[in-house]
Amino acid sequence: MLKSLFIQNYALIKSLKISPSESFNTITGETGAGKSIILGAMGLLLGKRADTKALLDPEVKCIVEGIFDIQQYDLKTVFEENDLDYDKECIIRREISPSGKSRAFINDTPTTLDIVSEIGSYLVDVHSQHDTLLLASNAYQLQMIDHYSGTYDSLKAYQNIFNEYKKTVRQLEQIESDASHLQQEKEFNQFQFEELENARLKPDEKEDLEERLKLLEHAEEIKIKIHEAINLLEENEFSVEDGLKNATNSIQQASKFSSSLENLATRLESTWIEIKDISDELNKKAEDIVYDPAETENVRARIDLIYQLLTKHRVTTIEELISVKNDLEDKITRSANVQFDIEDLKIKKEELYKNCLNKAKELSKARGSHYSDFTNKVNELLIRLGIPNADLKIEVNKTELTTVGIDEISLHFSANKGVAPQLLKKAASGGEFSRLMFAIKYILANKTAMPTLIFDEIDTGISGEIALQMVDMMKKMSEHHQLIAISHLPQIAAKGNKHFFVFKDHSSDISESKIKEVNEEERVTIIAEMIGGKDPSESAYRSARELIG
């Protein structure tokens, strides 16, 4: 239920706010006063697109905000699925900036127009003369039947199985496509895997090999330099070792006469021992370093292989090559096991199809038992609404499984005696179509928690007794549902629990559309003018008072 509507800087509206009755509301006004503008603003709350042309003042932001009471609609799951905060009140707001940027919010959470449209569809149902395409939709027609026949829950249960079936079909198609692709690549993957497997790569190998190659390629030069160092340390006439040894002996002897030299003697001895140890290690290094052309070539070949593999697989490290090898192994394993997965999915698909088909047949049978009753009730209402020869029929065909079952229905209609019912678009005029849609909405109003119903001049082409019949039906519908009727008929305008009047204000530089809730005295005058024109007679006033009751 719409609790309040706020519009700012939209089309000819500078600012307005209305709080409709929870039952029956009427909106009237002269042609061009702005009734359709208000409807357009409501469209923004239902996810319709808009641009800067909708701004009255191009320098000011446009805001449209609706506050809805949603306690009766059982929408908590829908909100959770869209990551929205749920509360008993839902606030939908649209903002259009002067730059043209459009933003949407639900309960102050930024969201997309698709989500606004989804949530809005549960809250507001705008019915106008232009709903032909909607009523011609097979899904919409079946939705009507499911609400009427009480099979809507069965439809939802069927759809859960159908969605699982379609998901399995997609999985099977994907895995069969993958299997074909894997089979085509199997030999190539196997070759690449074996090439990497045979390479027996180690994570830090490249750096170690490059260091080893550097040593091997400069072995002779390194060995010469080591021998030069050894010669200086221990082999020539004035070797470092002999000099340190002699210096140590001298200071040790001198320390007998001066204890302050003992520490220096100890340090010299330690240095001599360290130099001797370095000399020993250099000798071992010299023995270990051997110029080996064969090993040099092997190391160089190994490094070349690693770089070839890195280039081939477009990676930079051996760790990445090992990862590539593991991925190839997974693909080879999958290609070997994929047939088992395909067979499992085929069995699952077949079981789901049978289950789905059985549910669809049950749903179809349940629907079928209500077709005649539904069309009979609609035809009875159409007679009350001034189409005495109304003949609505439902033609049913069976289809493959779809999201709505195996039924494909089409409404056929005739308003004239002796004329066979035809498809709606060929058979119904605008006025007849409006009354047909109204009759359907009236029937469904007792079957489900319907959203706020907005009737946009569906009374076009009717008057007198028929208008009274229609407004009586509206009043009955409004006992359980919120109705907003945009009308030009005094019979309808007089029966609303709240009456809003749309008018143009020319008092400023720019004409503005405004709306106000009228009091009883103003209402009598407005309805009298709808009956008798701008200067209504006393009889028009009497008629207005009679209509208001």
Tokens 């039924």 sit on residue: 407
Residue 134: pLDDT band (50, 70, 90) is: low
Total domains in the chain come to: 3
Q: CB of 68 within 8 A of CB of 123?
A: yes
**Judgement on whether residues 114 and 238 belong to the same structural domain of the protein:** no
Tokens coding 459: 């009374």
Q: Which range of residues forms the domain containing residue 16?
A: 1-123+451-518
Do 533 and 510 lie in one domain? The reply is no
Q: Which residues contact 511 (CB under 8 A, 6 or more apart)?
A: 12, 504, 505
pLDDT, one tens digit per residue, over 499-538 is 999 999 888 888 889 999 999 999 999 999 999 988 899 9
Closest by Cα among 520, 521, 503 to 512: 503
Do 244 and 306 lie in one domain? The reply is yes
The last residue of one of the domains, among 314, 336, 358, is 336
Q: Is the residue at 418 inside a domain?
A: no
- Is 467 inside a domain boundary? yes
Mean pLDDT over residues 34-57, rounded? 85
| Percent of the chain whose pLDDT exceeds 70 | 98
511 and 524 fall within a common domain: no
* 462 and 540 assigned to the same domain: no
Is there a single domain that holds both residue 536 and residue 486? no
Judge whether 512 and 43 are in contact, CB under 8 Å. Answer: no
DSSP code at position 537: -
**513 and 539 part of one domain:** no
371-384 and 464-477 helices, crossing angle to 10°? 130
* Per-residue pLDDT band at 30 (split at 50, 70, 90): confident
CB 486 within 8 A of CB 434: no
Asked whether residue 167 is assigned to any structural domain, the reply reads: no
Task: List pLDDT tens digits, range 84-127.
Answer: 999 999 999 999 999 889 999 999 999 999 999 989 988 998 87
pLDDT digits (tens, 9 = 90+) for 311-354: 899 998 989 999 999 998 888 877 777 788 889 999 999 999 99
Q: Is 29 left (phi over 0), alpha (psi -120 to 50) or beta?
A: left
Do 512 and 12 form a contact (C-beta atoms < 8 A)? yes
Average pLDDT for residues 380-396, to the nearest whole number? 92
* Same domain (yes/no): 206, 67: no
Q: What is the pTM of this model?
A: 0.66
DSSP state of 90: E
Looking at the structure, tell me whether residues 467 and 524 fall in a common domain: no
Could you tell me if 462 and 435 are in contact, meaning their C-beta atoms sit under 8 angstroms apart?
yes
Shared-domain flag, residues 305 and 199 = yes
pLDDT tens for each residue of 73-83 = 888 888 998 99
The answer to whether residue 195 sits within a structural domain is yes
- The SS3 of residue 64 is strand
Residue 356 lies in a domain: no
The set of residues, in sequence order, having a beta carbon less than 8 Å from that of 431 and lying 6+ positions away, is 129, 460, 461, 462
* C-beta neighbour count of 338 within 10 angstroms: 17
**Minimal CA–CA distance to 42: which of 117, 103, 97?**
117
Same domain membership, residue 59 and residue 107: yes
**208 located within any domain:** yes
Is 177 contained in some domain? no
Please name which of 159, 19, 223, 11 lies closest in space to residue 96, comparing C-alpha atoms.
11
Q: Are residues 544 and 508 in the same domain?
A: no
pLDDT per residue as tens digits for the range 438-466: 898 899 887 877 789 998 887 777 778 88
Task: Give the other-Cβ count within 10 Å of 380's Cβ.
Answer: 13
What residues have CB less than 8 Å from 342, skipping those under 6 apart? 172, 175, 176, 179
